[in-house]
Amino acid sequence: MKKIDVYLTQSLISDDLFLKDRNVVVVDVLRATTTITVALANGAKEIIPAESVTIAARISKGLGKALLCGERNGKVIEGFALGNSPLEYKSETIKDKPLIFSTTNGTISITKSRLAKSCVLASFINLTKAVDHIKSIEGDIVILCSGKLNTFCIEDAVCAGVIIDRLINEEPGKYEINDSAYACVRLGCVLAKKTGRLSSEKILSMFGESEHGKYLSELGFGEDLKICAGIDSYPYLPVYYNGTIKLPEIIEIETNEKSHMKKIKISK
Ligand code: MLT
């Protein structure tokens, strides 16, 4: 049996050691894990998550051509190049560039996973990628919902619930889940009205009722919500590895290149 534990807000993770050697899936539907997925899909070289603005600024001193990106309270951080709207992360702006990224909740969850055995980022836009990833790995899973300002938020819980519901249906008898995971599954099913499969329209209307969805709409980010609701619209799986977030295909190429260089050095 594979165990799936859901944590409903990142504040439940006391320190980095809590997730050491565990397989983590970080969820921040509105909007960090969605925006990071869009940025990598549109060609960003890598994304370095920073838990605070100070740390982001410090990293940027050592990485001259990186773009400083992120938000506080939904708005772009003063002096930063980009905020946290997926619409800002167009190919022409970010292609082949490293991004340093700091957000109110999402990048805290991600950096708390720095000692994890594996860490990927999930949202509705890469749902099936996340499901397939969990199916493919050995061992227990933690789904870490970022939440909002240390509290529960519905959109992350529903996303976790839909992922787990898919796993339970596709691989019956294989998963054991904690009560938070069970609550997420039930929540997803209630919103879907029976089967646990949500449509993008239902997700969008759930955003419209949610605290953060309403807040983002008030700030004028209504179009972002449509992107964040698009089930499987960006089939890419960001991986947090060695302090940076990249697509697995890129990590594989780089690892192969490194081992090739090593072989050349040894044979010289
Ligand atoms: C966060 O990380 O707190 C969020 O992504 C907030 C936002 O919507 O910008």
User: Is residue 243 domain-resident?
Assistant: yes
CA of 105 to the centre of ligand 1 (A): 6
Q: In angstroms, what is the span from residue 106 Cα to ligand 1's centroid?
A: 6
Give the domain range for residue 239.
2-249
How far away, in angstroms, is 267 Cα from ligand 1 center?
A: 49
Lowest mean pLDDT segment, chosen from 19-23, 63-67, 84-88, 127-131: 63-67
| Residue 263 forms part of a structural domain | no
Q: Tens of pLDDT along 201-245?
A: 999 999 999 999 999 999 999 999 999 999 999 999 999 999 999
Q: What is the pLDDT of residue 197?
A: 65
Residue 103, in any domain of the structure: yes
Q: Given a cut of 90, is residue 60 above it in pLDDT?
A: yes
- Average pLDDT, integer, range 124-151: 97
| Summary mean pLDDT of the chain | 94
pLDDT confidence of residue 195: 59
Confidence of residue 198 (pLDDT cuts 50, 70, 90): confident
CA of 33 from ligand 1 middle (Å) equals 9
> Of 125, 137, 118, 148, nearest to 198 (Cα)?
125
Closest atom of ligand 1 to CA, residue 71: 9
Q: Are strands 67-72 and 98-102 parallel, antiparallel or unpaired?
A: parallel
DSSP-derived letter for residue 82 is: B
Give the pTM: 0.94
Answer whether residue 185 shows pLDDT above 70. yes
Residue 255 pLDDT level (bands cut at 50, 70, 90): confident
pLDDT value of position 189: 85
**pLDDT score, position 268:** 60
Measured from CB, residues less than 6 Å from any atom of ligand 1 are 28, 30-32, 71, 74, 84, 103-106, 216
For residue 22, is it within any domain? yes
* Ligand 1 atom nearest residue 28's Cα: 5
How many angstroms separate the alpha carbon of residue 196 from the centre of ligand 1?
A: 25
Task: Look at residue 196 in the predicted model and tell me its pLDDT.
Answer: 55
Specify the ligand 1 atom closest to the Cα of 212.
8
* Best residue among 28, 36, 218 to mutate for probing ligand 1, ranked by most atoms within 8 Å of CB: 28
Tokens describing residue 7: 């944590």
Q: Is the pLDDT of residue 166 over 80?
A: yes
Q: Which two tokens stand for residue 128?
A: 């099936």
* pLDDT on residue 229: 98
The answer as to whether 255 is a domain residue is: no
User: Which residue would you say has higher pLDDT here, 231 or 195?
Assistant: 231
Q: What b-and-e string marks burial along 158-189, b requiring 16 or more CB atoms within 10 Å of the CB?
A: bbbbbbbbbbbeeeeeebebeebbebbbebbb
pLDDT classification of 266: cutoffs 50, 70, 90? low
Q: 265 in a domain, yes or no?
A: no
CA 70 to centroid of ligand 1, rounded, Å: 8
Residue 264 falls inside a structural domain: no
pLDDT at 138: 93
> Would strands 118-122 and 2-7 be described as parallel, antiparallel, or unpaired?
unpaired
Task: Determine, yes or no, domain membership for 232.
Answer: yes
Q: What is the whole-number distance in angstroms between the Cα of residue 11 and the centre of ligand 1?
A: 15
Please state whether 132 falls in left (phi above 0), alpha (psi between -120 and 50) or beta: alpha
Residue 76, domain CATH: 3.90.1560.10
Average pLDDT over residues 50-65: 92
Q: Provide the percentage of residues in the chain whose pLDDT is more than 70.
A: 96
Number of domains in the chain: 1
Confidence bin at 176 (pLDDT 50/70/90) = very high
Mutate to test the pocket of ligand 1, among 11, 35, 84 (most ligand atoms within 8 A of CB): 84
